[in-house]
A and B are shown apart, each in its own frame.
Chain A
Amino acid sequence: MSLLGWCRWLEQTPLATTVSESIWLFPLVEGSHILALPLSVGMILMFDLRLLGLAFRSASAAKLMADVVRWSKVGFAVMFITGGVLFMTQASKAYGNMFFRTKLVLLLILGLNAVLYQSVFYPRMPQWDAIGSTPLGARLCGWLSLVGWIGVIICGRTMAYQF
């Protein structure tokens, strides 16, 4: 089965047809997807501001990260479940949509950025917290995250205009 064929099959699944044919389910799922943004992306942006020295400058980056990541996990769980359901309802339209494709590429880059941060900079956070200086690489990760997540929001909002 081709990828487009799989997308068409997804649209015909009972879950997808139930959501897209219901008057209130689609708005509820879409609203939850958008309203989970502050809890998922918003919390990560708070930490990015700390990495970039734009807010919480006197706060321990390690402690702040622990706090925001704990909450953002809940937000991202809602985001991926609702995003998955939304994709199922309009999979073939999303498949050919340039903004959806860009959004997926950005999500991949942001995922790799998070893995890079976790493996290279996270283990040494207590050391650079103690001297009160954020390494250049960690700041670059912060910039990439800030710009990338704003890009994801822009792509997500714009793709809906083309459906």
Chain B
Amino acid sequence: MTRALVSLLDRLSNSNTIVLIRDSSFGMPAVQSIHLVGLTALLAAMLVLNLRLAGLSMMDWSLPSIERELRPWALGAIAVVIASGTLMFLGNPTKYLASAPFLFKMTALGLAIVCQFGVLRGFFMSEPDQRRRPINVMVACLSLTLWFSIGWAGRAIAFV
């Protein structure tokens, strides 16, 4: 199983597309730039949602309506970061798999998606004033910590 996975990764990381991206001067910077634009859009959408949940911004709008407006943008941004991130990963899978910040980043990404679109979804699909404010603030802090730790871990990959 592990050997098959290693062989698949090896084949993918030596495919024409990945070699072209890795070896051309502007291939990897272009992919990294797309990744950063996607991350900016994704984290901005999460900021707007969580600031509203915490009662700190956009108090003239209902949270479920903001969630509906931002959902396609957030899902689109997640698709962009995962697609560009996969290309970055395949450029040097050995380096990434040996990197503790990368493994932390993937765990945080998984948890953030599960929380935002699963476990904590109810908080964003209903009006915050139905609950006590400290609960909303705690959920917003948890959600933003998870989302922003993805970005911090991503930067740490380059330094650790």
A and B: partners?
Answer: yes
By a beta-carbon cutoff of 8 Å, the part of chain A in contact with chain B is 27, 30-31, 34-35, 37-39, 41-43, 45-46, 49, 55-56, 59-60, 63-64, 67, 70-71, 150, 153-154, 157-158, 161
Q: Is the CB of A27 within 8 A of B156?
A: yes
In the bound complex, what is the Cα–Cα distance between A20 and B156 (angstroms)?
16
B153 CB to closest chain A CB, in angstroms?
10
| Closest partner residue, chain A, to B46 (CB atom) | A38
| Interface of A: prevailing SS | helix
Q: Which of A34, A46, A67 contacts B151 (CB 8 A)?
A: A34
Q: Is the CB of B69 within 8 A of A56?
A: yes
User: Within 8 Å CB of A37, what residues of B?
Assistant: 36, 39-40, 43
Chain B, 101-112, contact with A by CB distance < 8 Å: what is the 0/1 string? 000000000000
Query: What are 12 A-B contacts defined by CB distance under 8 Å?
Result: A35-B148, A35-B151, A37-B43, A39-B47, A42-B40, A45-B44, A46-B44, A46-B48, A56-B69, A64-B58, A71-B57, A158-B32
Given the interface pairs A59-B61, A71-B57, the reply to whether A153 lies near B44 with Cβ below 8 Å is: no
Q: Which of B32, B70, B156, B159 contacts A157 (CB 8 A)?
A: B32
By a beta-carbon cutoff of 8 Å, the part of chain B in contact with chain A is 26, 28-30, 32-33, 36-37, 39-48, 51, 57-58, 60-61, 69-70, 73, 148, 151-152, 155-156, 158-159
Which 3 residue pairs of A and B lie closest in terms of their CB atoms, listed nearest first?
A42-B44, A38-B43, A154-B33
B129 CB to closest chain A CB, in angstroms?
18
B48 CB to closest chain A CB, in angstroms?
6
| Closest partner residue, chain B, to A150 (CB atom) | B37
User: Within 8 Å CB of B47, what residues of A?
Assistant: 38-39, 42-43, 71
| Closest partner residue, chain B, to A71 (CB atom) | B57
Q: Is the CB of A153 within 8 A of B36?
A: yes
Indicate the member of A38, A70, A150 with the most B CB atoms within 10 Å. Answer: A38
